[in-house]
Amino acid sequence: MATRTRGALIAFAAAGAVAAMAVTTAATAAPTVLLKGPLYGNIPQVTIRGVAAGKLPWVIKGSAELTATHLTVSGTEFVIPQGPGINGTPVPAAVVGTTIGVKSVVAEVSCAGKPGIVTGAAPLSAKGSFSLSTSVKVPAQCMDPIVLVGVGTAGKSVKAWFASTDFLTAYGVATPAMIKPTATAKTPAKGKAKTTATAKTTATAKTTATAKGKVATTTTTAKTSAWA
């Protein structure tokens, strides 16, 4: 009887040890990676799931990795290259190779047919470097996940995207080599030539009202970024 009891205890202890190992292994197993790959610079006039691209092209050397609970995105040389912007207008030489004053970026996790998940903001250096690592809650059924990086409101929305995961490979992408401007021929005008690049546009609206024979004119001026 004692031998049987001892054998049963040993078997029970062994089973408990195996169960404990299984629980530990499950707890420490790496989470499933939903998306992992490089980032690609945007193409003006391309809208992804309701988010419009910036009005100028961007290039980047970066990558993104997404699990159900965590997003890691980072990039370097995230800047404006030479080439055509919106409506085919050439990128001004003065902004080539710069971040055009953008100080921070946000990322959006997008699942087909579902609202996007927008992260907090990450600082963007003048040379185009940033790093973002944050917790996210990806829906259980996330079809065709993509990650967008751009400017917007932290935790709420992306106003314009500047880089994306592989959703855009079919469109072709800008390349880092494009950040070097080519030589531009100068056209003298009375001995002098001057080119000015401006990153802001000004819109002016006038409203005229008549009251008891008097005319009142109100002028409202608003500055908007030409690049976002």
Calculate mean pLDDT across residues 189-197.
44
Residue 124 in any domain: the answer is: yes
Over the range 111-127, which residues count as b (16 or more CB within 10 Å of their CB) and which as e? beeeebbbbebbebeee
Residue 142 in any domain: the answer is: yes
Q: What is residue 4's predicted lDDT score, i.e. its pLDDT?
A: 56
Q: What is residue 6's predicted lDDT score, i.e. its pLDDT?
A: 53
Residue 101 in any domain: the answer is: yes
Q: What CATH number does residue 158 fall under?
A: 2.60.40
Question: From CA 191, how far away is CA 79, in angstroms rounded?
Answer: 34
Q: How far apart are the first and last CA of the chain?
A: 82
Residue 220 in any domain: the answer is: no
pLDDT beyond 70 at 191: no
Q: Which residues have CB under 8 Å from 130's CB, separation 6+?
A: 73, 74, 75, 78, 104, 105, 122, 123, 124
Residue 21 in any domain: the answer is: no
Residue 9 in any domain: the answer is: no
CB atoms within 10 A of CB 105: 27
Instruction: Report the candidate in 113, 110, 112, 54 with the shortest Cα–Cα distance to residue 81.
Output: 54
Residue 63 belongs to domain spanning: 33-168
DSSP annotation of 195 reads -
Return the higher-pLDDT residue of 11 and 62. 62
Q: What is residue 55's predicted lDDT score, i.e. its pLDDT?
A: 92
Indicate the SS3 state at residue 27. Answer: helix
Q: What is the pTM of this model?
A: 0.67
pLDDT beyond 80 at 44: yes
Largest Cα span, the chain: 116
Q: What is the pLDDT of residues 66-124, one digit of tens each?
A: 999 999 999 999 999 998 888 888 999 999 999 999 999 999 999 999 999 999 999 99
Return the higher-pLDDT residue of 60 and 193. 60
The tally of domains found in the chain comes to 1
Q: What is residue 150's predicted lDDT score, i.e. its pLDDT?
A: 97
Residue 76 in any domain: the answer is: yes
Question: From CA 117, how far away is CA 139, in angstroms rounded?
Answer: 10
34-48, 166-180, 200-214: which is most confident: 34-48
Residue 228 in any domain: the answer is: no
pLDDT beyond 50 at 208: no
Given a contact cutoff of 8 angstroms between Cβ atoms, the answer to whether 191 and 174 are in contact is no
